A and B are shown apart, each in its own frame.
Chain A
Amino acid sequence: GEDVEQSLFLSVREGDSSVINCTYTDSSSTYLYWYKQEPGAGLQLLTYIFSNMDMKQDQRLTVLLNKKDKHLSLRIADTQTGDSAIYFCAVPSGTYKYIFGTGTRLKVLA
């Protein structure tokens, strides 16, 4: 079956860059997504990348996609304490199903 893996924890100092990684097995996806979940809240769409792109930049966020290795990453520049949250990658599996990664818990130290 489809599998989407992430590291569970990441700790960075305020002002440093954070890199969150995701590997997946199903390569039929058109778009791949990153979501952010703050404590007690639902998931918010953070950014996405089209499968024929290698990179997408959106202000402090940079998404890199290596289709050959089935590897997706999210880089957050100048990480702030407000970036502390759980980050999920999501890979569509067909039209009506999404496989979410295990989530990476980002902790930003002041």
Chain B
Amino acid sequence: DTAVSQTPKYLVTQMGNDKSIKCEQNLGHDTMYWYKQDSKKFLKIMFSYNNKELIINETVPNRFSPKSPDKAHLNLHINSLELGDSAVYFCASSLPGGPQHFGDGTRLSIL
């Protein structure tokens, strides 16, 4: 009964490729997020969606395009991957203003 699940768990790919990460939550939350955690473990918000609408975009490059087909899903597509994109990407969901529930993360390695 995973509350927030994201796939894949590991993603190893070459520079310049395009890849997607999927996220689903079964908590009935309206709000979903994408975070990036770098090698120093600093966690930074990338996007916030509420009811399928983009609310927050934290100056993320245009190569990153989130898509929310419905309230339970928020996918992240990344074009033209760069070395600096190597990180762990976390999906989360919450009620507005409430505590966040995190997925287990997707470890992206760019060769």
| Contacts from A to B (Cβ < 8 Å) | 30-31, 33, 35, 37, 41-45, 48, 86, 88, 90, 92, 95-100, 102-103, 105
Give the CA-CA distance A91 to B42 in the complex, in Å.
15
Interface residue range, chain B: 20 to 34
Chain B interface residues toward A at CB < 8 A: 4, 31, 33, 35, 41-45, 48, 50, 55-56, 90, 92, 96-105
Contact yes or no, B43 A103, CB < 8 A: yes
24 A-B residue contacts at CB 8 Å? Answer: A31-B98, A33-B100, A37-B41, A41-B105, A42-B90, A42-B105, A43-B43, A43-B92, A43-B100, A48-B99, A88-B43, A96-B31, A96-B50, A96-B55, A96-B96, A97-B45, A98-B45, A98-B100, A99-B45, A100-B43, A100-B44, A103-B42, A103-B43, A105-B41
Give the interface SS of chain A, mostly helix, strand, loop or mixed. strand
Smallest beta-carbon distance B43→chain A, Å:
4
Q: A31-B97, A98-B33 are in contact. List 18 more A-B contacts (CB 8 A).
A: A30-B97, A31-B98, A37-B41, A42-B4, A42-B102, A42-B104, A43-B90, A43-B92, A43-B100, A44-B102, A86-B41, A90-B100, A95-B97, A96-B48, A96-B96, A97-B48, A100-B43, A102-B42
